[in-house]
Structure 1
Amino acid sequence: MKIAFINQPWSVVSPPVQNADSVATWTYEVSSRLSKDCAIVSYCKQHKSQAKCETYRGIEYRRISLIPDRIFLKILRELSKIVPISPSPLFNSTLYHFWYILAIAFDLRRQHCDLVHIHNLSHFVPIVRAFNPKIKIVLHMHSEWLTQLQPTTIARRLRKTDAILGCSEHVTDKVRQKFPAFASRCHTVFNGVDLDRFRPPEKPRDRLPKTLIFVGRISPEKGVHVLLEAFRQVAEHDREVTLQIVGPKGSTPREFIVDLSDDPEVQKLDIFYEKNYATYLDSLITQKIHDRVSFPGSVPHSHLAEFYRESDILINPSLTEAFGMSLIEAMATELPAIVTRIGGMPEVIEEGKTGLFCHAGNPDSLAAAILKLLEDDLLRTSMGTAGRERVLKLFSWDRVSERVWNVYQNLQQKND
C-alpha cells in the first residue's frame, strides 16, 4: 500500500518533526510507524530554504510553494469586502489554498497512491477526487468544522470520502448525528504522546512553591483570562504557589471558532476581538500576583516535557476543545489535571482518578478545584500515577498508529 498525507498548508514540516503544531506532529509520528509496512509520501508547504523534495527515514517529503496562494488569498480577502464569497467563511471555500491542493492533486496522480489522508480541510476532498477517482480518501477532523459549516456543502464533500476520522468521540459522534448517511464511515482515532520524551520526573514532586501550568495558545477560547481570575483567588489562600502560562501569544482567527460556535460562552468571546487579548490579560495580573505569574512564551516541543516535570498541576480551562493534547502530555509525566467538562476532554480525564473537572468560564469553580488538589499531596500523586497508566493504555503513538492502520486496511479490503 502507498499512502499520502496532506499536511495543513500553514504547517512547517522539517523532519525529524519536533517543534511543529499538533496536527503535523500527529502526521509525523503516525507516518513514521506506518512506513515500516508501506510507502509514505508526505505533502507540506515549502518553507524558506527547504528542499522541494526530501527523503527521511523512508518517508518522501514533497513540498509545495505557497507563493501563488499568498497572492491569490490577498486578492480574495480584498474582494470579499465587496462581494461575498460562497461558501463562507473563506477557509471553507474551494478557493482557500486552491493552488496548494491543486498541485498536490496533480502530483498524487503521478505517485499512484492507494490512499490519501487529509486533515481538517474538507474542501480539499473534491479536488483530490477529481484528479484521482480511484484513490481512497480519509478526512481527519481535529475540530468541529464539519458540523458547524453549511451542511449541504459538507454533505457533498463527505460523499466523496471513504472514511471520516475524529480526534475524539465528541467530534465523531457529532458528525454521525448531523450526517447519519455517513455514520458507517466515521471512526474515532485519539491523538498520541511520545512516552519516552514525556516521562515522569526522577524525583518526587515535593518542592515549594507548587507550580500550576497551562500549555497552549494564549487565545480567548483557551480561557486563560478565567485561569488568571481563578489564580488571584488561589493566591489569597496559598502563598506557596506559582503559575506558568506556556505557549505563543496570538488569538485564533475568530472565524475558525467564535463565529461558528453555538455555545453562548464561546460566543461571548467576541469581545476579546475588539481589543488586544494580551493587554487584557496583563490587566488581570495584580501587584499581589505579579511575581508569581510567568509567560515563558512558545517552548520547543522537544523541551516541553521538562516544564511538565517541574510542575505540580496542569490546568486546561478551555471553553472549546476537540481533544486536549496538553492533557495526555501532562498525564504521561504523572501530572494531575484540572480541566473543563468541554469537548473531548472528558474522554481523556477520568474524574476523581486522573484529575478534576470545573465549570467552563467559572473562575470560582476553577479556584476551588485548584485549592482542593494543592491541599492533598496523596491525591495529586495517585492521580499522576493513574494518569500515566491511562496514557500507556490508550494514547501511545503505537496504539494510535495501530488504530489508523486498521482503518486503512478495512478500506483496502473493501476495494479488493
Structure 2
Amino acid sequence: MKPSAASTTAAWIAWRWATLFWKRMANKKRILLFGWLPPPVFGPSVAYQALLRSDFPKHFDVTFINLSVVSNIRELEQFRVRKLLKLAQFLALELWYLLTRRFALVCYPISFNRNAFLKDTVLLGLARAFGVPTVLWAHGTGVARFRETLSPRLRTRFDQMVRRSRGVLVLAECLREEFGNLLPLERIRAVTLGIEPAPTDARHPDGRTILYVGTLLKAKGIFDLLEAFPTVRACVPEAHLVVAGEWFRADEEQATLEWCRRHHLTEAVRFVGPVWGEAKWALLRSADVFVFPPHSRSEAFGLVLLEAMQAGVPVVTTRGGARNEMVADGVTGLLAEEQNPSDLAAKILQLLTDPLLRERMGRAGRERFLSHYTHEHYGRRMIEALEAFTSEPPDPLPNHNP
C-alpha cells in the first residue's frame, strides 16, 4: 500500500524540522552551568531560575547542575553527611557530562566561605583537568576579606583559580574592582541580575505600612530596622511594620521577639513568616514603604528590592554593593547609611510623611525595573558576557601573588 501524499508531506516536514533543529543545536556553544534552584527559595536560587527562563538557554546549549543540598535555609551553614554524598553526586554528574559532551565553557558560582571554597576547588579542578575554560561568578562581596581568612596555601589556590579562569562575573560595575588585584578589568564583567515580571494588580496602601521581606538575619539588617522603628512610631504613631521571611537562626528569633515585648511593640510589629507567590505580591501591594537594609559585607545585591520596584513601592535600602546602581537615590528610592538606625528612621519618615513623594518614587521604580531588571534583560546581559568569554582566549598572566 502506497503512502498518501499527506503522510509523505508530514514525514518530510518532520524530517526537515528535525534537521534544522539539530543543525541549530550543533551551532550553539555548549555551556556547563553550575548554580542553585529552589528549594530553598533564596536570592541565588531565584536568580538562576529567572536566568533559565530567559532567552539565555535558547542562545546557548546549556547543561545545568543544581548545587542545592538543603531544603531549608537554616541548614545552609550546618554540616550534614548528606552534603558530602551530594558532592560525590555532583562530581559523578560533572564527570559524565565532561565525558559525553564538548563544552565551550564552565560557568561556576565562586564561594567566599572556606568549606564551600574547598568544594569549589574540586568541581572546578575536574573541569580544568578536561581542558574546559572556566568563568567564575561572584554572587557576593568581600574578596580581600575572604583571602585574609585563608591559610597561605589556600590563598595561593584561590588566586590561581581566579587567574587561570577566562574571567569573573560580578553583580555590578562598582564590584569589578573586587578582583582588580587578581585580573585585568577587561576580564571582569558585570552582569546585573533580573527577575520574572509578575502580574501586579492595583495597589491599596493605607499610608502607614512599612514592609520588610527577606531572610531574617542580623546581616540582612533586620535588627537595624527594628531599632529604627520606635523613632518612626514617635513621629507617626499609627505606623506599623510587617516582617515577612524565615528566621535563619533560632537564637536571633527569640532575642527579637523578646526585644519587641520589652519595647511594647508586639502589636505594631507583625511577623508573618515566609511568603511566596500571590501572598508576597499582596503584601507588596499593601505596603507604603519597602525597607531592606543589609550589611554590605554579606549582601551584594538584594532581589527583593526588584520585587518592590516592580510592584511600584518606593524603597529604602543601605548603600553598598550593587544597590548603589540598582536604586537611584532620590528618584526610585532612598539610600541610608549602613548599620545606622537613626539615618534609616529618617529615610523611612521622609517617605512615610510625603504621599506625593511615595507615589513619584514608586512609579519611577517600576519604570526602572521594566527597562533594566526583567529576566530577559538579565538573560541578554549574560549572553553578552559569556559570548565575550568564549571568543579569543585571554593573554596568560604572570604567576605572582598580589
Provide the residue aligned with 1:152 in structure 2: 156
Provide the residue aligned with 2:5 in structure 1: none
In the alignment, structure 1 residue 396 sits paired with structure 2 residue 374: yes
Which piece of structure 1 moves more, 100-109 or 276-285?
100-109
Give the CA deviation at 1:383: 0.3
Conserved in 1, the CA contact under 8 Å of 2:292 and 2:316? yes
Unaligned runs of 5+ in 2: 1-28, 71-78, 112-116, 148-154, 395-402
- State the alpha-carbon separation in 2 of the partners of residues 148 and 97 from structure 1: 28
- State the alpha-carbon separation in 1 of the partners of residues 347 and 376 from structure 2: 33
Conserved in 2, the CA contact under 8 Å of 1:229 and 1:284? no
Provide the residue aligned with 2:94 in structure 1: 105
**Matched residue of 1:140: which SS?**
strand
In the alignment, structure 1 residue 172 sits paired with structure 2 residue 162: no
* Letter paired with 1:113: F
Provide the residue aligned with 1:245 in structure 2: 243
- State the alpha-carbon separation in 1 of the partners of residues 320 and 272 from structure 2: 26
Alpha-carbon spacing, 1:399–1:73, altered in 2? closer, same or farther (3 Å): closer
Provide the residue aligned with 1:71 in structure 2: 81
- What is the percent sequence identity of the aligned residues? 23
- State the alpha-carbon separation in 2 of the partners of residues 191 and 3 from structure 1: 19
Aligned pairs, number: 339
- State the alpha-carbon separation in 1 of the partners of residues 203 and 41 from structure 2: 29
* Letter paired with 1:117: C
Provide the residue aligned with 2:270 in structure 1: 294
**Matched residue of 2:189: which SS?**
strand
Conserved in 2, the CA contact under 8 Å of 1:170 and 1:322? no
- State the alpha-carbon separation in 2 of the partners of residues 250 and 351 from structure 1: 30
- State the alpha-carbon separation in 2 of the partners of residues 100 and 155 from structure 1: 27
Which piece of structure 1 moves more, 362-371 or 373-382?
362-371
- Indicate which of 112, 115, 119 corresponds to 2:105: 115
- Indicate which of 45, 64, 77 corresponds to 1:42: 64
Deviations 1:99-143 (A, max 9, x none): 25422431231232222221133634642333321x232211111
Provide the residue aligned with 1:196 in structure 2: 198
Give the CA deviation at 1:246: 1.1
- State the alpha-carbon separation in 2 of the partners of residues 100 and 145 from structure 1: 30
- State the alpha-carbon separation in 2 of the partners of residues 276 and 406 from structure 1: 44
Conserved in 2, the CA contact under 8 Å of 1:20 and 1:301? no
* Letter paired with 1:370: I
Alpha-carbon spacing, 1:414–1:105, altered in 2? closer, same or farther (3 Å): same
Conserved in 2, the CA contact under 8 Å of 1:146 and 1:154? no
Conserved in 2, the CA contact under 8 Å of 1:213 and 1:244? yes
- State the alpha-carbon separation in 2 of the partners of residues 147 and 108 from structure 1: 34
TM-score normalized with structure 1 length: 0.74
Alpha-carbon spacing, 1:278–1:72, altered in 2? closer, same or farther (3 Å): closer
Give the CA deviation at 1:337: 0.9
**Matched residue of 2:59: which SS?**
coil
* Letter paired with 1:71: V
Provide the residue aligned with 2:306 in structure 1: 328
Alpha-carbon spacing, 1:411–1:369, altered in 2? closer, same or farther (3 Å): closer
Unaligned runs of 5+ in 1: 14-18, 49-68, 75-95, 252-274
Conserved in 1, the CA contact under 8 Å of 2:38 and 2:46? no
Deviations 1:212-232 (A, max 9, x none): 111111111112111111111
Alpha-carbon spacing, 1:300–1:291, altered in 2? closer, same or farther (3 Å): same
Provide the residue aligned with 1:31 in structure 2: 52
* Letter paired with 2:130: N
Provide the residue aligned with 1:93 in structure 2: none
Higher helix share: 2
Aligned residue runs from structure 1 range 363-374, under 5 A: 363-374=341-352
State the superposition RMSD in angstroms. 2.8
Alpha-carbon spacing, 1:130–1:36, altered in 2? closer, same or farther (3 Å): closer
Provide the residue aligned with 1:141 in structure 2: 138
Conserved in 2, the CA contact under 8 Å of 1:102 and 1:127? no
- Indicate which of 186, 189, 213 corresponds to 1:187: 189
- State the alpha-carbon separation in 2 of the partners of residues 47 and 148 from structure 1: 26
Alpha-carbon spacing, 1:223–1:319, altered in 2? closer, same or farther (3 Å): same
Alpha-carbon spacing, 1:385–1:103, altered in 2? closer, same or farther (3 Å): same
In the alignment, structure 1 residue 7 sits paired with structure 2 residue 46: no
Conserved in 2, the CA contact under 8 Å of 1:6 and 1:119? yes
Superposed structure 1 runs of 4+ greater than 4 Å apart:
45-48
Give the CA deviation at 1:170: 3.6
Provide the residue aligned with 2:128 in structure 1: 130
- Indicate which of 320, 324, 330 corresponds to 1:346: 324
- State the alpha-carbon separation in 2 of the partners of residues 120 and 301 from structure 1: 29
Conserved in 1, the CA contact under 8 Å of 2:291 and 2:316? yes
**Matched residue of 1:319: which SS?**
coil
- State the alpha-carbon separation in 2 of the partners of residues 4 and 300 from structure 1: 29
- State the alpha-carbon separation in 1 of the partners of residues 257 and 341 from structure 2: 17
**Matched residue of 1:174: which SS?**
helix
Provide the residue aligned with 1:319 in structure 2: 295
Conserved in 2, the CA contact under 8 Å of 1:143 and 1:171? no
Which piece of structure 1 moves more, 296-305 or 307-316?
296-305
Alpha-carbon spacing, 1:146–1:99, altered in 2? closer, same or farther (3 Å): farther
TM-score normalized with structure 2 length: 0.76
Conserved in 1, the CA contact under 8 Å of 2:106 and 2:127? no
Provide the residue aligned with 2:151 in structure 1: none
* Letter paired with 1:295: F
Give the CA deviation at 1:25: 2.1
Which piece of structure 1 moves more, 297-306 or 160-169?
297-306
- State the alpha-carbon separation in 1 of the partners of residues 83 and 393 from structure 2: 38
* Letter paired with 2:221: G
Alpha-carbon spacing, 1:340–1:112, altered in 2? closer, same or farther (3 Å): same
- State the alpha-carbon separation in 1 of the partners of residues 168 and 69 from structure 2: 29
